[in-house]
Amino acid sequence: MDITFGFGENWQRFLNEEFTEERLRIAKEHLLYVLYQDSLQGSTFLDIGCGSGIHSLAAYLSGAKSIVSLDVDANSVAATRKMWQLAGEPEHWQVIEGSVLDESFMAGLGTFDIVYSWGVLHHTGNMWQAIKNATLPMHAASVLYIALYADEVYHNPSPQYWLDLKKRYNLADADEKEQMECEYVWEYLLRPIAERGRNPLLHIKNYKQTRGMEFWTDVRDWLGGYPMEFAKTRDMLDAQQSLGLHLLDIHSGIGNTEFVFRQQQGTTYLDYLFNGCEIVPVTAAIRHHSGHCYEFDLPEYTELADTDGLHRKSRVLLLEDGQLVGFPHAKFDSIGSMGEGRYAHWKDKVLFSASDNTDPRTNGRKYALRLPVSG
C-alpha cells in the first residue's frame, strides 16, 4: 500500500481559511531576502511544487517577467490557479500540472533565471533524482533556490521515528489525526518553550513571520508529509560535483535548510556580490568547548550575530579551506555531540565543528568567515 499525503488539500484549506495579504507580504520579503534582491524585475521564475501558489504570487508581485508554476498534485494546481486569478490572470504566469521526476517534462520547460522549490523535492519518493531534474531548467546564469528537510535537526527523536510517525498519521482517521497533531504540538513545540519560561502561545501567534506560513497548516504538512527523505548538508556539499552545481549561500536553523546554487561553470548576479564580500581569516585563539565543539571570540561582529529571540539573524558564514562548512545556526549541544560542520555565530563568539570532526587546532585546515553582503 502506497502511503501519500494530500498536500493539495492542505493548501486548499490554507487558502480558504488562513491566507492574508500580510502572509503574502512576508512570503515576498523572505523570497527576496534569500535571493539578495529588491525585486525580480526582468527575471524568469520557475516554481517547482508550487503548493498554495503563495510564492509564485510573491514572484509575480516582485516583478518577475515570466512565471511557470508546476505541481504533481491537482489540488495544488487548483490552489495556485486561485492565486493566478487573484492576480488578474496575467498572461506571463502559467500554472501547469507535472512531475519533477519526469525528466523529459522538466527538460522541455525551457530555462529560467530562478529555479525555486521550497520543501518539495524531499517528498517526491526520489529526492536525489528530483534535485538532479530541478537543474535541467537552468542556464549558465541561473540561480537554483531549494529548501530540504534538514537531517541535522531531526536526531532527537531520530529521522526513522519521524518517518514511522508520518506513516501512522496518514493511516489514522480524522479524530486520530487531530489527537496526534495536538500531542505533537505540545510535546515538541509548545512544552519546550513553556519550560524555558516563555509564553508558548506567542510561538503560534508569531509563526506567520516564517515565510508567511500558518502554524496548523505546517503541523499537518509536517506530520502528514510522506513520502519523505532527509537531506544532510554534508551530503549536499559532497554532491555538488555530480550535480554540476556550486553552493553560493545557505540558510539553516529551522526544519528546512535553504540552499542557493549556480551551475559549476556559470556566473550569476550573486557571484558579483559574493566575490566582492570580505573574507576574514580566523586568527583568534581556538579553544575546545565540548565534544566536537570548538570556539573562538568574535567581538567585532557582535551586532551581526544570532542572539536571544533572533536565532537566525547572522549571515556570517564559516569556510574551511575556502569552502562553506555546513550547517549554520546549529544548537550548541548538537555541535558538540554530532559536529560535522555544525556551527553558530552567537553574540560575541563562534562555536563550530570541523567538517570531519577533527581538531581544528591541529588538522592543518584554514578557517575563515564570509561576511554578509548587501543585495
End-to-end CA distance of the chain: give it in Å, rounded.
48
Which residues of the chain have a pLDDT value below 70? 1, 374-375
- Model confidence over 213-269: pLDDT tens digits? 899 999 999 999 999 999 999 899 999 999 999 999 999 878 899 999 999 999 999
What 3-state class would DSSP assign to 255? coil
355 phi, psi to nearest 5 deg: -60, -30
CA dist., res. 40 & res. 219, Å (int): 30
CA dist., res. 71 & res. 87, Å (int): 19
Cβ atoms of 220 and 184 within 8 Å: the answer is no
CA dist., res. 291 & res. 259, Å (int): 28
CA dist., res. 26 & res. 54, Å (int): 10
- What local confidence, expressed as pLDDT, does residue 326 receive? 82
**Cis bond upstream, residue 360 (ω within 30):** no
Strand locations in the chain (E):
44-48, 66-71, 93-97, 112-118, 138-149, 245-251, 256-263, 279-281, 287-290, 293-297, 317-320, 323-324, 343-346, 349-352, 367-370
- What local confidence, expressed as pLDDT, does residue 124 receive? 96
Long-range contacts formed by 19-23: CB under 8 A, 24+ apart: 19/52, 19/54, 22/208, 22/212, 23/54, 23/208, 23/212, 23/213, 23/214
Amino acid, res. 184: Y
Q: Which residues pair with 262 in a beta bridge?
A: 246
- What local confidence, expressed as pLDDT, does residue 1 receive? 55
What the block records as the C-alpha cell of 251 is 540558510
- What local confidence, expressed as pLDDT, does residue 375 receive? 47
- What local confidence, expressed as pLDDT, does residue 277 receive? 86
Strand order in the sheet with 287-290: 287-290, 293-297, 349-352, 343-346
Residue-wise over 178-213: b if at least 16 C-beta within 10 A, else e?
eebbeebbeeebbeeeeeeeeebeebbeebbebbbb
Q: Which residues pair with 263 in a beta bridge?
A: 245
CA dist., res. 82 & res. 373, Å (int): 36
Cβ-based neighbours of 88, under 8 Å, separated by 6 or more: none
Cβ atoms of 316 and 349 within 8 Å: the answer is no
> What are the residue ranges spanned by the domains of the chain?
1-277, 278-370
CA dist., res. 270 & res. 139, Å (int): 15
What the block records as the C-alpha cell of 287 is 579553544
What count of other Cβ atoms lies within 10 Å of the Cβ of residue 235?
Answer: 11
Q: Say which CATH class 1-277 falls into.
A: alpha beta
Cβ atoms of 305 and 298 within 8 Å: the answer is yes
- What local confidence, expressed as pLDDT, does residue 156 receive? 84
